[in-house]
Structure formats: structure tokens, C-alpha cells
Amino acid sequence: MPQNLLEQLRKFTVVVADTGDIEAMEKFRPQDATTNPSLITAAAQLPQYRPIVDGVLLAARKELGVGATEQAVANLAFQRLAIAFGKKILAIVPGRVSTEVDARLSYDTQATIAQARSIIAQYDKEGIGRKRILVKIASTWEGIRAAEVLEKEGIHCNLTLLFGLHQAIAAAEAGVTLVSPFVGRILDWYKKDTGKDFHGADDPGVQSVTAVYNYYKKFGYKTQVMGASFRNIGEIIELAGCDLLTISPQLLAELEATEGELPRKLDPKAAKKLALKKIVVDKAAFDRMHAADRMATDKLKEGIEGFSAALVKLETLLVKRMAEIEYRATAAM
């Protein structure tokens, strides 16, 4: 009986759900799940998740007391909401969930460390051990340095918004658990910059992840590669064999509905045979390589700004929702 592409992919790649939609996770049953501020903001606006949002807001109100402003309550709830979604997700997936540090802290090493420790402490309070949590941090030099400290404390990190080999090498040297190169966003940049379309192995995002994977396997790094941000299943097909791939529900459904042979494209044994040179990436080299890579410079900046904007939107939504809850409570008295 022919197998669909999703079934075949699972044989040599860990499939991760790239969504805040709990119903989608229940349908596709991925090993792990990853969220980001945009996904949490989108999920928080869906009616089926209103009980989660309201529960977090009411708990924050109780903790701060009646004198606290709606803004103060919303700010505390905002920090707790990702944990609440993470807890729900971990009741479904057998593996790990990635929970993101505030993107507005991306260039502040100490603040990133402090918030990552807070995230782990909140999960610990819920009885969830750190083996099941990946703390997501943007792949800035400052973020990578924070991850280096956290990994030594046994806090596992997922370095996100990764677009260049210099970021990947620095992250691996820092001993991070996982990196998430953004395939689709790289493709978007090259399409806009060149006016061309790219397919299959010619896709610059596919080439970028392949280069990171091969470099890691060639030189024996333990850091795993998780391709992310896909635009089509063609990109996923070309990266079959990558350690992990985080895939949206829409593309998971397309893979499940498609039959045909899925050959393994990325293989650690093949990578070991490649003639690659090891690159030393210190702060000066990182800055130099980043400045020389227009795509990585543009997309890292854009990604941090986009995630930061999503957080501002989420805070605004929570203030509004808290006001609605308190109005209803007053009217019912």
C-alpha cells in the first residue's frame, strides 16, 4: 500500500507542528511543537481559546489585586500566556514545546537570560520539567551568548530567526540544543531581490539549511537543525532527512494528502565525506559576515521587528479583554 509523504518523512525526520492551534496538533500528532509571538497572538484571538486567555487574565488579576490597572494585569498575563499554551500543547505532543523569549530583548544578553530562567521556573511550577522545554531566542550575537550560559545551566535553547551560516556556526560553538533556519523567509528575500522564482534544490532557503546541516554533520556538532518557515511542500521534500522540520498545519495536510516516493536528501554519512573548511566565528567575524550578508541582515532585523510588533498587539488585545471581563463582572453585581 503506497504511503503518503508525511508518513515517509517521519521515518528519517522529526516532524514538529509550527502552530499555536491546539486542534491542529490533536489532528496531526507531531513529536514536538513550536510557537512564536505571531502564532500565539493569532491563536489568542480565536473563540475556542478564549477560556485559556480569560483564565490567565483572571489569575493575573488575583495575583496583583484589585488595585492594579488593566495594563498591569495584561502585562503579567502576557508573560504567562505562552506558558499556558505550552502546557496545553505538552498534553498532546510527546516531546518538547518551544517557548519564545520576548523579541524586544534580542540584543540584551542579561535580560534574555533572566526571562529564559523565568520561563523555566513557570513551567517548573506547573510540574513540567526542563527536558520538555526549548527556550526560543533570536540568533543575534547577544542571544547566542545568552544561550551559551543557559545551556550550561541545563536550559535547552532553540536559536530562531537564523538566516546565515555565521549564526549557525556561532550557535553550535555555544553548544545550543537546536537551531531553526528560516527557509521560506530566505526564499522571500531572494525572490524580491532578484525578481526570479526558485524551485526544488535551487531554492536559496533549501540551500541555506542544507549548508548548515552538512557543516554540523561534517564537524560532529551535537546541535540539531530544524528547518522552519516553509512556503511549499517542495522545500520540505528537498530537506527530507533534516534532524527536524517544523511545518504549518496547512502543509502537513498537503503532505498527508500526497502520495509518491520520498527519497532522503540530507544524510550525515554523505555530509562527512564533503570537503568543507572549518570557520572560526568570533565576535569580529560574526559582525563582518553578518554585515556582508544583506539577506541575513535584512531578515533578522525584520523578524525581530515583526515578532516585537506581534507582542505589542497581544498586549493591546489583553488590555481590551481584561476591560471586557471587568465590565461584565461589574454589570453582574
DSSP sequence for 129-190: -GGGEEEEEE-SHHHHHHHHHHHHTT--EEEEEE-SHHHHHHHHHTT-SEEEEBHHHHHHHH
Q: What does the block give as the cell for 330? A: 461589574
Residues 6 or more apart whose Cβ sits within 8 Å of residue 157: 116, 134, 135, 136, 137, 147, 150, 151, 176, 177, 178
Q: What is the pairing mode between strands 244-247 and 14-18?
A: parallel
- What's the rounded Cα separation, in Å, for the pair 180 and 299? 14
| Residues of the chain by 3-state class (helix, strand, coil), percent to 5 | 60, 10, 30
CA torsion sign for 272, 276, 281, 286 is: negative
Look up cell 498534553; give the residue: 91
Catalytic residue positions?
A: 136
Closest to 182 measured CA to CA, from 204, 166, 156:
204
CB hemisphere CA count around 283 (13 angstroms) = 4
CA–CA separation, 240 vs 218, rounded Å?
18
